[in-house]
Structure 1
Amino acid sequence: MRWATAGDVELAFETFGRPAGPPVLLIMGLAMQMLGWPQELCTDLARRGHHVIRYDNRDIGLSTHLDHLPAGDAAAVMRGDRSSVAYTIGDLALDAVRLMDALGLGRAHLVGASLGGAIAQTVALSHPHRVRSLTSIMASTGDRRVGTSTPRAMAAVLAPPARTREAAIARAVHIARVVGSTGFPFDEEAARDRAACAYDRGYDPAGVSRQLVALLTAPDRTARLRTLAVPSLVIHGDRDPLVSPDGGRATAAAIPGAELLLVEGMGHDLPRAVWPRLAERIAALVARAEAAPG
Structure 2
Amino acid sequence: MARIRANGVELEYETMGNPGDPAVLLIMGFAFQMTRWPEAFRRSLAEAGFHVIWFDNRDIGLSAEMGGLATYTLNDLAADAAGLLDALGIARAHIVGMSMGGMIAQLIALDHPRKVDKLVAMMTSSGAPNLPPPTQEALAALTAMPMQRTPEAIADIAVKAQHAIGSAPNLRNSAEVIRQNAIDDFRRSDRPFGVIRQFTAIQAQPRWHERLGSITRPTLVLHGADDPLVRPAAGEDIARRIPGARFKAFPGWGHDLADAMSETLANEITAFLKA
TM-score range, shorter chain: over 0.9
1:102 partnered with 2:87 = yes
SS at match of 1:226: helix
Q: 1 CA distance for matches of 2:14 and 2:20? A: 16
The reply to whether residue 175 of structure 1 matches residue 161 of structure 2 is yes
- The aligned counterpart of 1:158 is 143
8 Å Cα contact 2:7-2:84 kept in structure 1 = no
Deviation string 1:151-209 (CA, Å, 9 cap, x unpaired) is 11111111234422211121122112211012634311111121011101111111001
Partner of 2:235: 248
Q: Which residue of structure 2 lines up, in the alignment, with residue 122 of structure 1?
A: 107
CA distance in 2, matches of 1:212, 1:190: 26
* TM-score scaled by length of structure 1: 0.90
In the alignment, which residue of structure 2 is the partner of 1:64? Answer: 64
The one-letter code matched in structure 2 to 1:90 is N
Off by >6 Å, runs of 4+ in structure 1: none
String of CA shifts for 1:78-122, please: whole Å, max 9, x gaps.
xxxxxxx71011000000011001110000100000000000000
SS, match of residue 118 in structure 2: strand
Partner of 1:74: none
Alignment of 1:89 onto 2:74: yes
Which residue is equivalent to 1:190?
A: 177
Q: Is the 8 A contact 2:145 2:157 kept in 1?
A: no
Equivalents in 2 of 1:11, 1:279: separation in Å?
25
Shift of residue 286 of structure 1? 1.6
Aligned residue for 2:121, secondary structure, equals strand
- Give the secondary-structure state (helix, strand or coil) at the position aligned to 1:136: strand
Whichever residue aligns with residue 237 of structure 1, its letter is: G
Structure 1, gaps ≥5 residues long: 71-84, 289-294
- Per the alignment, residue 39 of structure 1 pairs with 39
- Provide the C-alpha distance between the structure 2 equivalents of 1:286 and 1:264, rounded to a whole number of angstroms: 23
The reply to whether residue 27 of structure 1 matches residue 12 of structure 2 is no
Give the whole-Å Cα distance in 2 for the aligned partners of 1:240 and 1:10.
33
Give the letter aligned to residue 240 of structure 1: D
> Once the two structures are superposed, what CA deviation does each residue of 1:199-229 show, in whole Å capped at 9, x if it has no partner?
0111111100100111122232222111110
Distance 2:108 2:169 in 1: 32
Report how far residue 144 of structure 1 moved: 2.4
The answer to which of 104-113 and 196-205 deviates more is: 196-205
Q: So what's the TM-score if we normalise by structure 2?
A: 0.96
Aligned residues: 273
Amino acid at match of 1:59: D
Structure 1 residue 8 displacement after superposition: 2.9
Q: Does 1:16 align with 2:1?
A: no
State the identity as a percent.
44
Give the secondary-structure state (helix, strand or coil) at the position aligned to 2:60.
coil
DSSP 3-state at the match of 2:29? coil
AA aligned to 1:99 is: L
Which residue, 113, 116, 132 being the options, matches 2:98? 113
* The one of 266, 270, 274 aligned to 1:279: 266
Q: Say if 2:23 and 2:51, in contact at 8 Å, map to a contact too.
A: yes
Shift of 1:131: 0.3
Q: 1:247 to 1:183 in 2, by over 3 A?
A: farther
Residue deviations 1:230-289, cap 9 Å, x none? 01000000110110110011011111111111011110012222211211121122213x
Conserved 8 A contact 1:140-1:147: no
8 Å Cα contact 1:124-1:228 kept in structure 2: yes
Q: Which runs of 5+ in 2 are unaligned?
A: none
Matched to 1:156, the amino acid is A
